[in-house]
Structure 1
Amino acid sequence: MNFKAILNKVKPKNNRGSTQVVVLGNEAIYVSSADLEAQSTRIPLVNGDWESALKKSLNSEAFSSHRFQLIISANYYQTYQIDKPNIPENEWPVALPFLLKDLISERVTDITASAVALPTSNKLQVYVLPRKLLNKLVSIADSAQVELNGIAPEDEIWGYSAGDLANFILLQRSSGAHFKLGAFVDNTVCFQRTIRSVVPPLTGVASHSLQLDSLALELQRSIDYLSSQIKGAQLHQLKICCDEEDEVELQSALNNTLSSSVSLLVEGERDNSERLLLKIASERDGFNVNLYPEHLKPKNELFTLTNVVAGWVCVSILLLGGYFIMQYQASALDQGLTALQRESAQLNKQVDQLNNKLTQHKPSLDKVAAVARLQRETQAKKEALKAVGQYDESQQVGYSGVMMALAKLGRNDISLSQIYITHDTLDLSGFARNADAVPNWVGQFRSELNLVGRAFEKLKIGRNDQDVVTFELSTRRESK
């Protein structure tokens, strides 16, 4: 692990979660800045050694993230067009090498491929990257302790270089490369060719008019071919993005010879093509083509030696912790059990002492006999008191009050012939002038103290042989 990787692990960074873009160009490597306003970093290739330059780029101060998206120029990959297979799109990365086996000289295991469907036909635009080159890129990323998110070809990026214009033709040349012509429909490249017969420069003092005429001829042939082959899409705009050329002069010359309208891809001063490519890619959130598919990325192995050892250490710590906790709880329970056993022994000892006292505490026979006699005597007195209580106040004062009350209530229409009085009864019988005199007379009892509260349960009224009204009153008797 190098010093930069150690610092990245120790020193926190605000942009740690961002993804930077790296362009692997023809003559240099460009690294986007974490700050979009800052200038990108250029690291030139020395004698074409892109591996050392890429290592230097990923370990430089300009690269401050832990993942990056790689854009590779056209000289690192090949392109093909094949019929669209009848398989799901998510299976294309695995199936494409086998579908290309008749078109390539390498073995299917020596390449990786990615494709995008063409909007103008039922074909796929396929990009092929040698597996050997991919392995080098992954190895360099691993040595720098960074993650390679994906690899996109530059043709994928140039499709979005014209801004809102989705259908256009692009004449492009990077420094140290040949002129390339591409046709884009819905931002997807549908036609590509490299014009190797034209040698730059086309403008300036060292230019030659024959080279410019030759380029114009090749362009017109391509435009005529596209007009006949691509249906349903208008390709009347030719954009120019050529390094080391006077683009205004080139635009003027081509406008005079071509049938299509020629304009600059970027008006005014611009960076070179690869810096422009880096800027466009940095503004993209995703890419349709990825030459480093998910099935080739290393899987996170869970059952590694480090993970297994760490797992056993964690399990051992948990087991030891559980053992000590159980031992502590068992010790506390043993102490509580000992205390309870000690208390139980003391209580059992007290029970034995009390039982001994109870055994020794026996009453004498004389005392038992005396208690029995006292109980009999008490019971006899209770019965006597009960008998005495049966006599109410009328028995204590006699029956004179009742007789005086009856005499006081004497009437001309009532004549008593018989009076029967006990402590709880008062039975009356006699004669009455008429039947209604009896209840009127009984109603007057409530005005006399000795007669109030007397309740009669039976009243019998009749006539004797002399047709005289007779009555009998029987007092209600209390139930025993």
Structure 2
Amino acid sequence: MFKRTPQSRNVGLLLAANRIVLAASGNPPIFAARSVAGSQEWASAVSELLGDHGLAKSTVRVVLDATLYQQIQIDKPAVPETEMAGALPWAIKDYVSEPVLQLAMDYVDLPTPPAGRPRINVICLPKQQVQLLADAVNGVAQLATVSSDELAMTALYPADNMVRMLLWQEQGQDLQLLVFYQGGLCFSRQLRGFAALVGEAAPDSTLLDALALEIQRSLDYLAGQLKLPELGQMQVAIASAFTGTLISHMEQTFGFGVSVMTNKAVTAGVEYLSAYAAAIGGEAR
């Protein structure tokens, strides 16, 4: 009766072709990562990661790295919700190279402009990959959900009426521009050509001006096409020693405050952010 009850932790796992990233909620949280040579090593790596940190039999929420899935934005099929699962494969068949019946897929609703047709974001990946990740996790723990890295990030923001933008970039990855509104991810862009933001030297004004232009284009789309309220918050989560330079340039360009995202994952390393979001998203539920 005097034994301390072990602390229950929610676990987020980012799966990629070359790595697995773990984040577990708690005080203190747990952060760990392991390289893999391919998805065939997921099972052994997941077992070792969870076992090494006493997280076997935990509830696990898997996040898929962007290289593992495909996103397609289309008009929402005009069928009842109960028939959407059957309608999705034929709605996206012209946008994928794989046979649609070999793909697992799901969708989220996108903001619909006034007088516009409802649109959805379909996320799909091979069923074989889903089976691999399910076997890898369920062999040692309990798989609860599978989400994309972008969608997992919604757990980092409250479900209110403020429009929030996040600039997110890991070392060696493209810059992601994500916009959240009313508890959902309503807009995302992958911005190529900004690898120097996480380089060893401070970014120059030419690069920062180019980024500001891309941000302005996104702001124009949010206001002009999606009819969203003005941006209420811009945050930066970038694996760079020169984040201050970027923030200062954006504040001077746009005239509003820009801040560094601060949470336990960013402190540990930006690469843990989506896995951490999955873990705390499970906590909220």
Aligned-partner Cα distance in 2 for 1:248–1:262: 10
Map of 2:13 onto structure 1 = 22
Structure 2 vs 1, CA of residues 221 and 281 (structure 1 numbering), >3 Å: closer, same or farther? same
2: CA distance, partners of 1:227 / 1:44: 41
What CA deviation, in whole Å up to 9, does each residue of 1:283-311 have, x standing for no partner?
224899xxxxxxxxxxxxxxxxxxxxxxx
Residue 252 of structure 2 corresponds to residue 274 of structure 1: no
Aligned residue number for residue 85 of structure 1: 77
User: Does structure 2 retain, via aligned residues, the 8 Å contact 1:26–1:175?
Assistant: no
Match of 2:130 among 121, 134, 137: 134
Secondary structure at the aligned position of 2:253 is classed as coil
Residues 124 and 223 (structure 1 numbering): CA distance in 2 closer, same or farther, change over 3 Å? same
| Deviation digits for residues 14-64 of structure 1 (CA, Å, limit 9, x no counterpart) | 77997532222586423344x611342423214x53542552222423232
Q: Which letter does structure 1 place at the counterpart of 2:190?
A: T
Q: Displacement of 1:223 after TM fit?
A: 1.8
| 1:119 aligned partner | 111
Tell me how far apart the structure 2 counterparts of residues 90 and 173 of structure 1 sit (CA, whole Å).
37
Cα deviation, residue 138, structure 1: 2.6
1:85 deviates by 2.4
RMSD: 3.2
Query: Per-residue deviation at 1:243?
Result: 1.5
CA spacing shift, 1:270–1:86, aligned 2, 3 Å = same
2:37 counterpart of 1:42: no
Mapped pair 1:74 → 2:66: yes
The SS at the match of 1:172 is: strand
Q: Measured at CA, do residues 177 and 235 of structure 1 come closer, stay the same or move farther in structure 2, by a change above 3 Å?
A: same
1:49-448 to 2 correspondences below 5 Å: 49-59=38-48, 60-62=51-53, 63-65=55-57, 67-121=59-113, 122-141=118-137, 144-163=139-158, 166-201=162-197, 205=201, 207-258=203-254, 261-266=257-262, 270-285=267-282
3-state SS of the aligned residue for 1:71? Answer: strand
Q: Report SS of the residue matched to 1:200.
A: helix
Question: Would you say the 8 A contact 1:21–1:71 is kept in 2?
Answer: yes
Identify the structure with bigger relative contact order (alpha carbons < 8 Å, sequence gap 6+): 2
Q: Is the 8 A contact 1:255 1:262 kept in 2?
A: yes
Residue 31 (structure 1) aligned with residue 38 (structure 2): no
d(CA) in 1 for partners of 2:172, 2:18: 7
Give the distance between the partners of 1:161 and 1:123, measured in 2 at CA. Answer: 24
Q: Structure 1-normalised TM-score?
A: 0.50
Q: Which moved more, 1:278-287 or 1:81-90?
A: 278-287
Structure 1 residue 117, shift from structure 2 partner: 1.5
With the length of structure 2 as denominator, give the TM-score of the two structures. 0.80
Q: In structure 2, do the counterparts of structure 1 residues 205 and 72 end up closer, same or farther at CA, with 3 Å as the change threshold?
A: same
Does structure 1 retain, via aligned residues, the 8 Å contact 2:165–2:179? yes
Q: Please, which runs of 5 or more residues in structure 1 have no aligned partner?
A: 1-13, 289-480
* CA shift in 2, pair 1:93/1:101, >3 Å: same
**Would the alpha carbon gap of residues 220 and 93 (structure 1) be closer, same or farther in structure 2, given more than 3 Å must change?**
same
Distance 2:283 2:101 in 1: 27
Q: What is the distance in 2 between the residues matched to 1:229 and 1:70?
A: 33
Distance 2:159 2:267 in 1: 19
Q: Higher Cα Rg: structure 1 or 2?
A: 1
Q: Is the 8 A contact 1:185 1:233 kept in 2?
A: no
Number of aligned pairs?
A: 273
Specify whether residues 43 and 53 from structure 1 end up closer, same or farther in structure 2 by C-alpha distance, changes over 3 A only.
farther
Instruction: Encode CA deviations 1:265-298: one digit per residue, 9 max, x unaligned.
Output: 227972323323333322224899xxxxxxxxxx
Aligned partner of 1:150: which letter? T
Preserved contact between residue 61 and residue 282 of structure 2 (Cα < 8 Å): no
User: What is the alpha-carbon distance in structure 1 between the residues aligned to residue 56 and residue 218 of structure 2?
Assistant: 44
Cα distance in 2, alignment partners of residues 26 and 217 from structure 1: 33
Task: Report the CA distance between 1:188 and its aligned residue.
Answer: 1.9
Which structure carries more strand by proportion? 2
Q: Percent identity?
A: 24
The one-letter code of the counterpart of 1:159 is: T
Check 1:99–1:160 CA distance in 2 against 1; reply closer, same or farther (3 A cut).
same
Give a deviation string over 1:323-377, Cα, whole Å, max 9, x none. Answer: xxxxxxxxxxxxxxxxxxxxxxxxxxxxxxxxxxxxxxxxxxxxxxxxxxxxxxx
Contact 2:247 2:258 in 1 (8 A): yes
Give the letter aligned to residue 33 of structure 2. I
Instruction: Verify the 8 A CA contact 2:159 2:182 in the aligned structure 1.
Output: no
- Residue 139 of structure 1 aligns with an amino acid whose one-letter code is D
CA distance in 2, matches of 1:263, 1:51: 40
Q: Which amino acid aligns with 1:271?
A: A
Amino acid at match of 1:36: G
CA distance in 2, matches of 1:205, 1:52: 35
Is the CA contact (8 Å cut-off) linking 1:169 and 1:183 kept in structure 2?
yes
**Deviations for 1:428-458, whole angstroms, at most 9, x for unmatched residues?**
xxxxxxxxxxxxxxxxxxxxxxxxxxxxxxx
The 1-side partners of 2:80 and 2:230 are apart by 30
Helix, strand or coil for the counterpart of 1:37?
coil
